[in-house]
Structure formats: C-alpha cells, structure tokens
C-alpha cells in the first residue's frame, strides 16, 4: 500500500515529447527508460532510467548521471510490438530453412525439402521480419522545428506551503 503512494507522488511529472502544431504528445514518467543523444556526446546513444525530474532546474536525473533538458538532442522510442513481430518472422524463416535443410540431409521421405518454393518462403519471412524491424522498430525524435521536449509538472501545490 505504501509503495504505490510513493510512486504516485512522482506520477504527475513527465518528460513530454510534443510534435509542433499537433495535439498528440508522448509522456514519459519517472521510472521510464529512454535512449537519447546529448549535445556533449552526439556520436553515441546513451540509455538511462529517469530517476527524478527537477522541474525548476529543467533537469532530468538518471541512474548514472543528470542532464539538463536543453542538452538532449534526440530521443529514441522503441516499438516493442514491431520488434517482436519482426523477430518472430525472422525466427520462423530461419526455422523453416533449417528444418528443410535437416530433412534434406537426412533424406526423410522422397520429396525435395529444399525446393525453390520452400527457399522462397524462408527467405521472404526473414526479409519481411528484417524490414518490419527497421521500419517500425524505433522512432527517433529530434529537438528541433518539428518536435519539442518539455518537462511537465501536473502536481497541485499551494503557495506558501
């Protein structure tokens, strides 16, 4: 009972990714893990779990470091559904080709297990899975003219208390 109340105290502070001139936004609360590029290390992706958001200082505290919001240039959001479907299709294609090759090597039955049709099915499944992962696996948001990163504090506070 106490743990949900402790988490609820931070539940109204978000890192928000907004698309300019669009009402839709992505809210990342405290406890979310994000992958980002900063202006200091623009050549490498960093990953961190948001431990705390300091609204007045416009700063995000991660497990390993802290970062002012204006230093974050890009945020990568991972689409786990797209990645899972892609991996499943790739695994199916590899399994299809592996079992066909194994059946061909052991000469089970009189039919050709590595026919052109079976090769096309396996290769198409692998290619489609790879394409799905690349197209829908990750979405990168850049803090520029099309997107904006903001810290949002929706907690109710009374002045003087």
Listed by start position, the domains of the chain span 12-77+139-153, 80-136
For 64-77, the pLDDT digits (tens) are 888 898 899 999 98
Instruction: Report pLDDT for 136.
Output: 83
Q: Which residues contact 136 (CB under 8 A, 6 or more apart)?
A: 79, 81, 82, 86
Pairwise pLDDT comparison (10 vs 95), residue with the higher score: 95
Check if the beta carbon of residue 126 is closer than 8 Å to that of residue 87: no
- Residue 148 CA to residue 107 CA, distance in Å, equals 61
For 113-122, the pLDDT digits (tens) are 677 888 898 9
Is pTM beyond 0.85? Reply is no
Q: Which residues contact 46 (CB under 8 A, 6 or more apart)?
A: 35, 36, 37, 38
Instruction: Report pLDDT for 110.
Output: 67
pLDDT band at 160 (very low <50, low <70, confident <90, very high): low
Paired residues of 53 in beta bridges: 60
Instruction: Report pLDDT for 119.
Output: 86
Paired residues of 153 in beta bridges: 13
Q: Which residues contact 119 (CB under 8 A, 6 or more apart)?
A: 97, 100
Dump the DSSP string for 41-88.
TTTS-EEEEEEEEETTTTEEEESS-EEEGGGEEEEEEE-HHHHHHHHH
Pairing of strands 147-153, 25-29: unpaired
Per-residue burial over 106-138, b if 16 or more Cβ lie within 10 Å, else e, is eeeeeeebeeeebeebbeebbebbbebbeeebe
For 51-106, the pLDDT digits (tens) are 999 888 889 998 888 889 889 999 998 888 888 999 999 999 999 888 888 877 78
Among the residue ranges 3-7, 73-77, 143-147, the one predicted with the least confidence is: 3-7
Pairwise pLDDT comparison (112 vs 9), residue with the higher score: 112
Q: At what angle do helices 80-106 and 116-136 cross, to 10 degrees?
A: 160
> How does the average pLDDT of the chain come out, rounded?
83
Local structure of residue 23 (DSSP, 8 states): S
């Amino acid at each position: 009972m106490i743990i949900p109340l402790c988490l609820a105290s931070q539940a109204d502070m978000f890192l928000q990714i907004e698309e300019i001139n669009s009402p839709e936004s992505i809210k990342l609360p405290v406890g979310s893990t994000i992958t980002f590029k900063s202006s200091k290390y623009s050549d490498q992706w960093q990953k961190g779990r948001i431990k705390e958001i300091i609204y007045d200082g416009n700063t995000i505290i991660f497990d390993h470091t802290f970062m002012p919001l204006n230093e974050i240039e890009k945020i990568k959001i991972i689409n786990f559904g797209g990645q899972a479907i892609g991996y499943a299709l790739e695994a199916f294609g590899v399994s299809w080709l592996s079992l066909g090759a194994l059946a061909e090597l052991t000469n089970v039955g009189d039919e050709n297990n590595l026919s052109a049709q079976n090769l096309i099915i396996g290769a198409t499944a692998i290619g489609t899975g790879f394409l799905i992962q690349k197209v829908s696996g990750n979405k990168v948001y850049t803090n520029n003219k099309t997107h904006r990163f903001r810290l949002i504090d929706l907690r109710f506070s009374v002045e003087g208390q």
